[in-house]
Amino acid sequence: MEHGRSKKIYEEAKKYIPGGVNSPVRAFKSVGLDPVFIESGKGSRVLDADGNSYIDFVCSWGPLILGHSPEYIYDGIEEIIRKGTSFGLPTETEVKMARLICEALPGMDMVRMVNSGTEATMSALRLARAYTGRDKIIKFEGCYHGHCDSLLVKAGSGALTLGVPTTPGVPQDVIKDTIVCRYNDTSSVEAAFSENAGGIAAVIVEPVAGNMGVVPPREGFLESLREITKRHGAILIFDEVITGFRLSYGSAQGLFKVEPDITCLGKIIGGGLPVGAYGGKREIMSMVSPLGSVYQAGTLSGNPLAMHMGMKTLEYLRDNPQVYGSIEDNAVRLEAGLNAIIDELSIDACVTRAKGMVCLFLGKGPMESHDDVIRCDTARYASYFREMLERGVIIPPAQFEGWFLSYAHTREDIEYAIKASRESLEIAFAD
């Protein structure tokens, strides 16, 4: 496969952009390649600058649950753009969007739109601290909640992949209030609460961890977090930036029937544009400015174009519930296909899955926490990635990320990805 034009763009990019990319994992550093630069996307496929076509399982890291450039979402978009893309004054689309989200999520009475998942979690923490009058927060090792200072402690995603889970530049003073517990380990949370009696404002968790690969919650884990936080007067924050509108239309909270106090959203709700949101119980959200005194603002928050795209996406998901069944069917097929290869090749690998979220770990399972996933063979994963790319399939360029399936992926795409995996894994495990 030729990548001459991508390489040329990359050389130019490195002159002006740190590492040539605007988000670290895009540089393909951990898989030992130069990045491919994307020209366009349609359905389940992307086309790179050299004209190579790939089946895409990155799907913008989650937003594109309906695939690339769906006509039914884009329909009428020109008219929306011509009306103006930002006013800094309220529009009715924001209200429609807020209503859609509140009607979908059991734990959401009111919601505030922001521009990214990072903004959502950062604002949610501020609110939880203001509401409880406490400073400490609990996060879980391997969970990623964006690049807000106090949450960049033992973080997953690119931070984990690039070996900087706790980044320089974050003052000790800021992270002294961040307590890190073990995912799926209720006793570590109980212990943190007893050691910090009356001091913990909130527990923030990815209800299905999607930033250390995919690690589903153990039976009862989320329920325990709900019970413990309630007992200690702390806020339970579900970071549903990935799981929101992906696991089900009611998101993880609807699926697991555990209601958080505050929910963070991003990705899917923007329909491919930069959108995040945080919201929750009316009593808590009433503290947000200008209704209350907790300040949080945004020049482009709720901008009409982004709201339109998000609204169209959510309406489609609401009105076409078969989307979830179809994605899950493909996820189950992918899981079965990969498991068959693992058996046939007798390799140390395992597949995790939660509804439509899937991950192939190149290490022995079970995968229930950060300690488990970091034992995976990232060098073999890099080789697997490279072989897949060569065969026209883009999987996440890092072991500690899940595959993103969309409604646009066909059964043939899945069958092809399984076949390509069979060949690629055989090569990756050749020695």
Residue 239 engages ligand PMP in binding (rule: CB under 6 A) = yes
CA distance 375 to 363: 6
Single-letter amino acid code for the residue at 6: S
Asked whether the beta carbons of 405 and 387 are under 8 A apart, the reply is no
- Tokens describing residue 383: 């080789």
Q: Closest CB to ligand PMP among 240 and 413?
A: 240
Instruction: Print the binding letters for residues 32-71 with ligand PMP: x by CB under 6 A, - otherwise.
Output: -----------------------------x----------
43: left (phi over 0), alpha (psi -120 to 50) or beta: left
The minimum distance between CB 276 and ligand PMP, in angstroms, equals 6
Rg (CA), the chain: 21
Closest CA to 266 of 244, 235, 299: 244
Instruction: Print the binding letters for residues 109-138 with ligand PMP: x by CB under 6 A, - otherwise.
Output: -------xxx--x-----------------
Does residue 329 carry a catalytic annotation?
no
The minimum distance between CB 111 and ligand PMP, in angstroms, equals 16
- Tokens describing residue 156: 């997953």
Instruction: Print the binding letters for residues 276-315 with ligand PMP: x by CB under 6 A, - otherwise.
Output: x---------------------------------------
Given the rule CB under 6 A, which of 206-214, 224-232, 350-358, 367-375 is the region that contacts ligand PMP? 206-214
76: left (phi over 0), alpha (psi -120 to 50) or beta: left
Does residue 183 carry a catalytic annotation?
no
CA distance 176 to 188: 18
Q: How many CB atoms lie within 10 A of CB 264?
A: 30
The minimum distance between CB 388 and ligand PMP, in angstroms, equals 21
Active-site residue, from 48, 185, 239, 372: 239
The minimum distance between CB 144 and ligand PMP, in angstroms, equals 5
Cα 347 to its chain centre, rounded Å, is 28
Active-site residue, from 10, 54, 131, 144: 144
Which sequence positions are flagged as catalytic? 144, 239, 267
Binding region for ligand PMP (CB under 6 A): 61, 116-118, 121, 144-146, 157, 206, 210-211, 239, 241-242, 266, 276
